[in-house]
């Protein structure tokens, strides 16, 4: 398993952003769905080794990121696209991607070819030498995706990767995701259920810091059938039905309703 | 198949990330993977040539990533360096004109600001992204801070030398080098404040206000503006304070252990 989480929590003051999540994921594309404030970004940041957990057990690529040596090894094999991607306005696309390739400890001899491949893969070849400050939001997002995949990661974490992409780019991006998921574990946090339906083999739905559904997109669709839940598409109805069911359960203390129970596990 | 030093065969038929060698019999056109060919060409065309400073840093640090991070330090970029030179040149001119060692009084504040702006959230646009990479952000911070300190010390010493220090109260050696000790303390304070608060502006404010208070307190106590840099009894407290601030910065940039 590339991701092993057990009773993972993250607290900011008295607020639980992640309230005891347990999950495992091997190769494949894993969708993380949920409303705003559900805890998706905090969970992703912990998996990116940027945010330490408050409690619980986290193992990535078979290693404990709490120790410096294993953490460095994880980071070499990690690709991460944060929700708010910062960029250097004076860098070109190639310089930006190359910068992170070097920070990921890639052998310098491999970097130019890996950078070219990543830039081409996200369709920014014609903007390779353009300064980042001249690019549109969608192009910057693609530059961010290019830096995430430049090291051919075994664990790829993408927070709202399709935000700002036009429909054509989103379709192309889903194809990239499916290709990467054949070998690596790809975790995609998104609001867009159609991205999950098109690209993900597994999906978890988070609400109030907890995983309230864990299954396949087909199983999420099945939850919505005949439920009368709101939504234009089958996946949206499943999403609404699971959320409505989770919210109808009386609140328990944060660490209690952690792992998806048998009633929520598809 | 080489032409004018360019091995086109190597570019066109070199294999990708898996490192496998192409079959020698597979070089006929139908077997050419155009995507791979184009990637090879693009890699050659887009390849960035590191400058001499970056190449030297890569050799010294034994890490191309760390070297690249070093040469992109905000407070080592040309505009910042020119501003530093101008401030200290003005200080040297003022020293020559008045006899007051303005270079020695300005250098710690200028260096402290440079250190605060070396690395961190709000300063480094892709700071969060950098935190998830194999090259430790703590190491990046250390290398950048040392480089900024070294540059400011060198520029300050040059400015001190140019100003000649004629007519300055205190021994020439103390005035020329004495400010390096308080500069260390001011830089450490700025670094600690910037890392704890995660704000370069707070770091600059802490460093500058700390130094101004120290200078004014010296003047109020002994009637001399230069007391903060010439009073050798202050050197040990400066160094102790710098060590404490360094420890605070080290603690603030740690990643807690025990995630499991």
- Any domain includes B260: no
pLDDT digits 0-9 by tens, B22-72: 444 445 566 777 888 888 888 888 988 899 999 999 999 999 999 999 999
A73 vs B259, higher pLDDT: A73
> Cβ–Cβ of A104/B134 closer than 8 Å?
yes
> Cβ–Cβ of B46/A119 closer than 8 Å?
yes
Cα separation of A120 and A175, whole Å?
14
Question: By three-state DSSP, how is residue A107 classified?
Answer: coil
Quote the ipTM score. Answer: 0.81
Cα separation of A258 and A266, whole Å?
16
What is the CATH number assigned to the segment(s) A3-77+153-248?
3.40.50.300
Please list every residue in chain A whose beta carbon sits closer than 8 Å to the beta carbon of residue B17. 110, 113-114, 117, 152
Taking 50 as the threshold, does the pLDDT of residue B257 lie above it? no
**Chain B residues 228-257 within an 8 A CB cutoff of chain A:** 255-257
* pLDDT recorded at residue A177: 87
pLDDT digits 0-9 by tens, B221-238: 877 888 888 888 888 999
Taking 80 as the threshold, does the pLDDT of residue B105 lie above it? yes
Using the 8-state DSSP alphabet, how is residue B21 labeled? P
Question: By three-state DSSP, how is residue A29 classified?
Answer: strand
What distance in Å separates residue A257's CA from the closest CA in chain B? 20
Q: Domain limits at B33?
A: 2-46
B85 and B172 housed in the same domain: yes
Q: Is A164 exposed, middle or buried (0-12, 13-18, 19+ CB in 10 A)?
A: middle
Please list every residue in chain B whose beta carbon sits closer than 8 Å to the beta carbon of residue A58. 259-260
Q: In the structure, what pLDDT confidence band is assigned to residue A212 with cuts at 50, 70 and 90?
A: very high
CB A217 within 8 A of CB A30: no
Alpha helices in A150-189 (DSSP H): 167-181
Chain B residue with CA closest to A93: the answer is B46
Backbone dihedral region of A131: left (phi > 0), alpha (psi from -120 to 50 degrees) or beta? beta
* pLDDT recorded at residue B17: 42
Alpha helices in chain A (DSSP H): 40-47, 68-76, 93-103, 111-121, 137-149, 167-181, 193-199, 217-224, 234-248
- Per the structure, the count of domains in chain B is 2
Question: Which of B16, B47, B257 is closest, CB to CB, to A67?
Answer: B257
Query: Are β-strands A55-60 and A3-12 bridged in parallel, bridged antiparallel, or unpaired?
Result: antiparallel
| Average pLDDT score over chain B | 82
* pLDDT recorded at residue B252: 86
Section A94-115 average pLDDT: 94
Taking 80 as the threshold, does the pLDDT of residue B86 lie above it? yes
> Cβ–Cβ of B255/A71 closer than 8 Å?
yes
Section B111-134 average pLDDT: 86
Spell out the SS3 assignment of A43-70: HHHHHCCCCCCCEEEEEECCECCCCHHH
Q: Is B4 exposed, middle or buried (0-12, 13-18, 19+ CB in 10 A)?
A: exposed
- Any domain includes B71: yes
**Sequence-distant (≥ 6) Cβ neighbours of residue B19 within 8 angstroms:** none
B31 and B69 housed in the same domain: no
Q: Which tokens in the block code for residue A217?
A: 């997109």
Alpha helices in B77-199 (DSSP H): 78-98, 102-116, 127-131, 137-163, 172-177, 180-197
**Sequence-distant (≥ 6) Cβ neighbours of residue A142 within 8 angstroms:** A122, A123, A124, A165, A169
> Cβ–Cβ of A87/B136 closer than 8 Å?
no
B8 and B124 housed in the same domain: no
Question: Which of B44, B72, B126 is closest, CB to CB, to A87?
Answer: B126
- Any domain includes B259: no
B197 and B96 housed in the same domain: yes
Kindly state the percentage of chain A with pLDDT values over 70: 93
A247 vs A77, higher pLDDT: A77
Put simply, whether B68 touches A (Cβ < 8 Å) is yes
* pLDDT recorded at residue B241: 96
Q: In the structure, what pLDDT confidence band is assigned to residue A226 with cuts at 50, 70 and 90?
A: confident
- Any domain includes B162: yes
Taking 90 as the threshold, does the pLDDT of residue B193 lie above it? yes
Kindly state the percentage of chain B with pLDDT values over 90: 44
B130 and B23 housed in the same domain: no
How many Å is the maximal CA-CA distance in chain B?
88
Chain A residue with CA closest to B55: the answer is A108
Spell out the SS3 assignment of B31-72: HCCHHHHHHHHHHHHHCCCCCHHHHHHHHHHCCHHHHHHHHC
A156 vs B126, higher pLDDT: A156
Please list every residue in chain B whose beta carbon sits closer than 8 Å to the beta carbon of residue A99. 68-69, 72
B167 and B182 housed in the same domain: yes
Spell out the domain ranges in chain A: 3-77+153-248
Put simply, whether B134 touches A (Cβ < 8 Å) is yes
Taking 80 as the threshold, does the pLDDT of residue B208 lie above it? yes
Taking 60 as the threshold, does the pLDDT of residue A230 lie above it? yes
- Any domain includes B21: yes
* pLDDT recorded at residue B169: 53
B85 and B131 housed in the same domain: yes
* pLDDT recorded at residue B69: 92
Q: In the structure, what pLDDT confidence band is assigned to residue B136 with cuts at 50, 70 and 90?
A: confident
Taking 50 as the threshold, does the pLDDT of residue A164 lie above it? yes
Q: Which of B12, B132, B253, B260 to mutate to test the interface with A (most CBs of A within 10 A)?
A: B132
Cα separation of A236 and A238, whole Å?
5
Put simply, whether B61 touches A (Cβ < 8 Å) is no
Please list every residue in chain B whose beta carbon sits closer than 8 Å to the beta carbon of residue A86. 124-129
Please list every residue in chain A whose beta carbon sits closer than 8 Å to the beta carbon of residue B130. 103
- Any domain includes B257: no
Chain A residue with CA closest to B259: the answer is A66
Put simply, whether B34 touches A (Cβ < 8 Å) is no
Taking 50 as the threshold, does the pLDDT of residue B16 lie above it? no
What distance in Å separates residue A40's CA from the closest CA in chain B? 16
Question: Which of A57, A113, A115 is closest, CB to CB, to B40?
Answer: A113
């Amino acid at each position: 398993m590339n991701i092993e989480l057990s009773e993972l929590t993250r607290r900011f003051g008295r607020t639980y952003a992640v309230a005891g999540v347990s999950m495992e994921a091997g190769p494949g594309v894993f969708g993380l769905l949920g409303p705003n404030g559900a805890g998706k970004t905090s969970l992703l940041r912990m998996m990116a080794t940027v945010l330490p957990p408050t409690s619980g057990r986290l193992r990535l690529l078979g290693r404990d990121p709490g120790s410096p040596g294993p953490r460095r090894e994880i980071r070499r094999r990690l690709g991460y696209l944060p929700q708010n991607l910062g960029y250097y306005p004076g860098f070109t696309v190639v310089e930006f991607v190359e910068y992170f390739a070097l920070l990921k400890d890639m052998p310098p001899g491999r970097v130019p070819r890996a950078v070219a491949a990543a830039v081409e893969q996200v369709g920014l070849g014609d903007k390779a030498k353009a300064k980042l400050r001249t690019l549109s939001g969608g192009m910057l997002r693609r530059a961010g995706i290019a830096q995430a995949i430049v090291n051919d990661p075994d664990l790829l974490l993408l927070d709202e990767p399709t935000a700002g992409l036009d429909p054509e780019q989103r379709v192309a991006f889903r194809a990239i995701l499916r290709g990467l998921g054949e070998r690596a574990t790809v975790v995609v946090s998104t609001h867009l259920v159609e991205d999950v339906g098109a690209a993900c083999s597994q999906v978890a739905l988070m609400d109030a810091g907890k995983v309230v559904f864990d299954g396949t997109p087909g199983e999420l669709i099945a939850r919505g059938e005949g439920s009368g839940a709101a939504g234009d598409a089958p996946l949206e109805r499943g999403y609404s039905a699971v959320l409505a069911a989770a919210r109808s359960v009386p609140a328990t203390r944060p660490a209690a309703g952690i792992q998806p129970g048998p009633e929520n596990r598809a | 198949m080489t032409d004018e030093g360019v091995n086109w065969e190597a570019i066109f038929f070199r294999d990708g990330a898996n490192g496998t060698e192409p079959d020698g019999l597979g070089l006929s056109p139908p077997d050419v993977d155009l995507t791979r060919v184009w990637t090879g060409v693009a890699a050659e065309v887009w390849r960035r040539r590191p400058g001499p400073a970056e190449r030297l840093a890569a050799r010294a640090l034994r890490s191309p990533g760390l070297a690249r991070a070093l040469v992109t330090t905000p407070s080592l970029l040309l505009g910042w360096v020119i501003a530093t030179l101008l401030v200290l040149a003005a200080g040297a001119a003022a020293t020559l004109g008045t006899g007051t060692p303005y270079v020695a009084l300005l250098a710690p504040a200028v260096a402290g600001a440079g250190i605060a702006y070396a690395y961190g959230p709000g300063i480094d646009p892709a700071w969060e992204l950098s935190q998830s990479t194999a090259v430790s952000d703590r190491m990046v911070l250390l290398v950048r801070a040392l480089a900024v300190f070294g540059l400011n010390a060198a520029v300050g010493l040059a400015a001190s030398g140019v100003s000649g220090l004629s007519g300055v109260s205190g021994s020439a050696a103390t005035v020329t080098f004495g400010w390096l000790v308080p500069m260390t303390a001011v830089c450490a304070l700025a670094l600690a404040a910037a890392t704890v608060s995660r704000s370069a502006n707070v770091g600059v404010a802490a460093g500058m206000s700390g130094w101004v208070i120290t200078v004014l307190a010296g003047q109020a106590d002994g009637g001399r503006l230069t007391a903060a840099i010439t009073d050798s009894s202050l050197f040990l407290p400066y160094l102790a304070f710098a060590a404490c601030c360094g420890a605070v910065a080290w603690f603030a940039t740690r990643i807690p252990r025990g995630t499991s």
